[in-house]
Amino acid sequence: MTKGESAAPVNQFDPETRAALTELLLQMADDEFVIGYWDSEWTGIAPILEEDVAFASLAQDEIGHAQALYRLLAELEGGDPDAIAFGRPPEGYRHARLLDHPRTDWAFSVARRFLYDTADAARLDALAASAYAPLAGVVAKMRREETYHLLHMHAWLDRLATGGEEARARLVAAMERLWPDALCVLDGIEGDDLLVAAGVLAEPLADVRRRWLAGLAPELSRLGLPAPPAAVAAGACRGPSRGDDFRWLWEQFTMVRRSDPEAVW
């Protein structure tokens, strides 16, 4: 990120709006960070060598997006982006429950990434014209990279849905399992109405979610894939309690930093 993008005054918001902005940035950053780590696990074991490179590259892009968002957070709240990214206990992460699942099989990872990327795209749409200029700048760059991510995931959804019995059965099972948690990505946050009033967010997250689901409906219907459930399943959408799978991933991605938190790279 260039210095020019961080020029907007960070004290332009009242405390409640600012708290909502901080929460939104943390949720987005953690979403990108955690899916980036899960999907990078396909490096070396994707269905073909070419896809191995492609999927790992997508995962790496998400880590880059997380880095840009952690920097925004550090500018807004003070602190070190790396410390925000790697320095919290598992309970401190704010990613959606959709990203608590392990990578499982290929159809599962494709289904999860498809659901996440399309939800994230709807969220980014609502931030493209954000009055918080540093965020609008980062979002503009993210959306350009997401163009390719979306193309790639639509292509894979289509192939698994129409590519034979086993592929289709695995995809359908994955989507049925993931849908209730996928809705969590766009669960409302406290104060998102304040963000709308301040022009940071174009519409409340509940409306973003409706727009996301309406946009997906024709494709799901064409491919005969499971439609979303009427409501999010019970339980907290974004922690603090996490299962063993995320705890394992946290152990992995914090391992090096925990070995020497003061190391200079």
Partner 1 sequence: MGGQPMQVYEVFRREREGGAMQHAGNLLAPDIELACHYAREFYGRRQESVRLWIVPRVAIRDLDDPDLLQPPFDRSFKKPAGYSTEIKAKLAKARARAGQEGESR
> Residues in the site for partner 1, rule: CB under 8 A?
47-51, 53-54, 57, 148, 151-152, 155, 159, 163-164, 166-167
* 49 or 234: CB nearest partner 1: 49
- Distance in angstroms (rounded) separating the CA atoms of residues 47 and 40: 14
Q: How far is the CB of 65 from partner 1 (least distance, A)?
A: 15
Q: What HEC string does 137-152 produce?
A: HHHHHHHHHHHHHHHH
* 47 or 199: CB nearest partner 1: 47
* 53 or 217: CB nearest partner 1: 53
Q: What HEC string does 34-73 produce?
A: HHHHHHHCCCCCCCCHHHHHHHHHHHHHHHHHHHHHHHHH
- Distance in angstroms (rounded) separating the CA atoms of residues 143 and 115: 16
Q: How far is the CB of 104 from partner 1 (least distance, A)?
A: 19
Query: Which residues, at least 6 apart from 136, have a Cβ–Cβ distance to it below 8 Å?
Result: 127, 128, 129, 130
Q: How far is the CB of 164 from partner 1 (least distance, A)?
A: 5
Q: How far is the CB of 219 from partner 1 (least distance, A)?
A: 16
Q: How far is the CB of 118 from partner 1 (least distance, A)?
A: 17
* 163 or 199: CB nearest partner 1: 163
* 1 or 131: CB nearest partner 1: 1
